[in-house]
């Protein structure tokens, strides 16, 4: 009996070990929808925090939002996809500065918008696989007289799902900036694009 | 000088008959659509990325030709032919694919369009925004009622366009919604269609219908007051106006200025819910003109893609 049990135990351990081996890394990263929703919930928690009321707490709120966005987004991936084939026209130092400036500009533009958020309802509906490593998480924001579909495109990186693009009413953030940057890069060197961004970011 | 821009259709009766005919046509269509084999309830194809959102790798021998000549800010042209995907070959030789080219539009009238863009921009900040801000002191519930009434008046356009796009179920849903909102919701005061029957709005417009049948934008147009549009969608706006009930109210009942006043109120009422949207769009943009043009094309592409499913 005991021997049998031992054999069983061994067998079970082996099974668990094999299972652990074959289980895709994605399983550990959690589901894309849950990841995005989790971050969105964190943002809502900050916005609804009663201890962070009024103008004085605005700075604290922005700091917290920034910290969440760092976890939520993959800004390098977003930058690469935004510049697409123009990415390689930038040298590594320029690439790094571009990413930082882009992040600042997006943060400045959207934090105010998010802070103005009142009581709109957000629902997460589903996830749609795009490629092997990318998934689209679909949500919609219910406003007073309209519904705005917001899709987050996430990529599996280092064991977690990170947002690399946001699509609002069919308008992809990265594509939209790409069209703007492309016009600048068509006529000017990368340095002048970065200079434009520096001005915009107020640095 | 009381020019009636809104055409008085003398043959009001014949038009009513045509409309009635359409509605009668629609009823059996809806019954048909409700059967699962006619229209799948939850069409999987519309959910699966039918159009590759992140396109696969394409070799890009014309990568250099890809960049438009330095002088022209005009997009489209020869670029329109290129595929959406681009290949990036890194220093390491590892290639990665990113979706590069989004939908494009030709903009041969960029100079005049930019003038119109600036005109609309000033119009917003100097007129529409202050008026809408003052107006938004009215109770929100009242403004929502107005919004519902105006929205209900666009229902005939949505019904007909859904029908023309062969989205029979959507057309049927809009018809039920229209009936419910008009009769139960008393002229559209409440969204009874949603509250009672759980039917959501099924957007459809004539520009989308034209796109559904393969008509391209033609070129980009910034219209005064209406904002970003194109040759196709401008025609679409006119088409939709012809499907709007107020167009068929005779000028003896509603003068041009009264009709214009109603339209102006619709615009202000709508804007009162969206104060801040345009500002944050502009704040986020590096080049607002290009950003808006691109957003317009992307958004319209989505609408046209959607009209091909369901």
The answer to whether B66 contacts A85, with C-beta atoms less than 8 Å apart, is yes
Give the CATH number, domain containing residue A109. Answer: 3.10.450.710
pLDDT tens by residue, B244-257: 998 888 888 888 89
State how far residue A23 is from chain B, nearest Cα, in angstroms: 25
Sign, Cα dihedral of B98, B102, B104, B110:
negative
Question: How far apart are alpha carbons B180 and B154 in whole angstroms?
Answer: 14
Q: Which residues contact B290 (CB under 8 A, 6 or more apart)?
A: A179, A180, A183, B73
- Is B284 near chain A, with CB under 8 Å? yes
SS3 A152: strand
Are A174 and A165 spatial neighbours (Cβ–Cβ below 8 Å)?
A: yes
| CB < 8 Å from A in window 79-138 of B | 86-91, 96, 98-100, 102
- Is A170 near chain B, with CB under 8 Å? yes
The domain tally of chain A equals 1
**Domain ranges, residue A119:** 31-201
Residues of chain A in contact with residue B63, where contact means CB-CB under 8 angstroms, are: 85
- The whole-number pLDDT of residue A52 equals 78
For residue A17, being part of any structural domain is answered with no
- Is A112 near chain B, with CB under 8 Å? yes
The answer to whether B290 contacts A179, with C-beta atoms less than 8 Å apart, is yes
For residue A142, being part of any structural domain is answered with yes
For residue A180, being part of any structural domain is answered with yes
CB atoms within 10 A of CB B115: 13
pLDDT tens by residue, B209-265: 999 999 999 999 999 999 999 999 999 999 999 999 988 888 888 888 998 999 999
- Is A116 near chain B, with CB under 8 Å? yes
Over its length of 310 residues, how does chain B's per-residue pLDDT go in tens digits? Answer: 444 443 444 445 444 444 444 444 343 333 333 333 333 333 333 333 333 333 333 333 333 333 333 343 444 333 333 333 333 333 333 334 455 567 889 999 999 999 999 999 999 999 999 999 999 999 999 999 999 999 999 999 999 999 999 999 999 999 998 988 888 777 667 666 676 667 788 899 999 999 999 999 999 999 999 999 999 999 999 999 999 998 888 888 888 899 899 999 999 999 999 998 899 899 899 999 999 999 999 999 999 999 988 6
Question: How far apart are alpha carbons A37 and B112 in whole angstroms?
Answer: 44
- Is A103 near chain B, with CB under 8 Å? no
- Is A177 near chain B, with CB under 8 Å? yes
For residue A11, being part of any structural domain is answered with no
CB atoms within 10 A of CB A25: 10
Phi, psi of A63 (to 5 degrees): -60, -45
State how far residue A176 is from chain B, nearest Cα, in angstroms: 6
State how far residue A134 is from chain B, nearest Cα, in angstroms: 9
What is the edge-to-edge ordering of all strands in the sheet holding A121-129?
A: A121-129, A134-142, A147-157, A160-168, A171-172
* Helices assigned H by DSSP within chain B: 12-34, 44-47, 63-66, 110-123, 129-135, 140-153, 155-164, 168-179, 192-195, 206-212, 231-242, 256-271, 277-284, 288-307
Structure tokens at B260: 């214009």
State how far residue B243 is from chain A, nearest Cα, in angstroms: 22
- Is B48 near chain A, with CB under 8 Å? yes
Give me the residue label for tokens 């079970």. A12
Q: Which residues contact B163 (CB under 8 A, 6 or more apart)?
A: B22, B25, B26, B29, B171
Distance of CA B227 to the CA centre of its chain: 12
pLDDT tens by residue, B114-142: 999 999 999 999 999 999 999 999 999 99
């Amino acid at each position: 009996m005991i021997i049998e049990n031992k054999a069983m135990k061994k067998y079970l351990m082996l099974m668990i070990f094999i299972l652990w081996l074959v289980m895709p890394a994605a399983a550990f990263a959690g589901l894309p929808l849950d990841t995005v929703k989790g971050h969105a919930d964190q943002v809502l928690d900050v916005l609804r925090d009663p201890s962070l009321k009024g103008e004085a707490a605005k700075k604290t709120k922005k700091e917290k939002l920034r910290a969440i966005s760092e976890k939520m987004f993959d800004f390098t991936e977003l930058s690469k996809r935004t510049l697409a084939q123009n990415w390689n026209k930038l040298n590594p130092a320029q690439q790094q500065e571009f990413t930082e400036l882009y992040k600042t500009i997006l943060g400045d533009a959207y934090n105010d918008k998010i802070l103005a958020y009142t009581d709109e309802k957000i629902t997460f509906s589903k996830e749609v696989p795009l490629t092997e490593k990318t998934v689209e998480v679909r949500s919609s924001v219910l406003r007073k007289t309209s519904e705005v579909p917001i899709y987050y495109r996430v990529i599996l990186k280092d064991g977690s799902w990170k947002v690399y693009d946001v699509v609002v009413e069919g308008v992809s953030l990265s594509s939209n900036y790409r069209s703007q940057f492309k016009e600048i890069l068509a006529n000017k060197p990368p340095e002048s694009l970065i200079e434009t961004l520096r001005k915009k970011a107020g640095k | 000088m009381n020019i009636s821009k809104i055409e008085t259709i003398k043959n009001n009766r014949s038009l009513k008959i045509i409309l009635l005919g359409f509605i009668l046509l629609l009823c059996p269509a809806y019954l048909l659509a409700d059967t699962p084999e006619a229209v799948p309830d939850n069409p999987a194809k519309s959910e699966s990325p039918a159009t590759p959102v992140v396109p696969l790798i394409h070799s890009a021998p014309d990568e250099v030709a890809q960049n438009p000549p330095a002088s022209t800010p005009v997009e489209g042209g020869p670029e329109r032919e290129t595929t959406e995907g681009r290949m990036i070959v890194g220093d390491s030789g590892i290639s990665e694919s990113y979706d590069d080219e989004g939908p494009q539009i030709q903009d041969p009238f960029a100079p005049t369009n930019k003038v119109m863009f600036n005109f609309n921009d000033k119009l917003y900040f100097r007129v529409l925004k202050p008026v809408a801000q003052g107006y938004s002191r009215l109770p929100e519930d009242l403004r929502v009622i107005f919004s519902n009434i105006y929205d209900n008046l666009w229902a005939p356009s949505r019904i007909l366009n859904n029908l023309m796009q062969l989205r029979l179920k959507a057309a049927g849903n809009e018809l039920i919604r229209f009936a419910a909102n008009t009769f139960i919701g008393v002229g559209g005061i409440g969204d009874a269609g949603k509250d009672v029957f759980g039917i959501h709005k099924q957007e459809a417009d004539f520009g989308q219908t034209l796109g559904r049948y393969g008509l391209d934008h033609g070129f980009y147009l910034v219209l005064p007051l209406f904002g970003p549009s194109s040759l196709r969608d401008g025609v679409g706006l006119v088409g939709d106006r012809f499907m709007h009930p107020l167009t068929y109210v005779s000028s003896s009942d509603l003068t041009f200025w009264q009709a214009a006043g109603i339209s102006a109120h619709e615009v202000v009422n709508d804007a009162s819910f969206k104060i801040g949207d345009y500002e944050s769009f502009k704040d986020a943009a590096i080049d607002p003109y290009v950003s808006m043009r691109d957003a317009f094309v992307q958004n319209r592409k989505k609408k046209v893609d959607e009209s091909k499913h369901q």
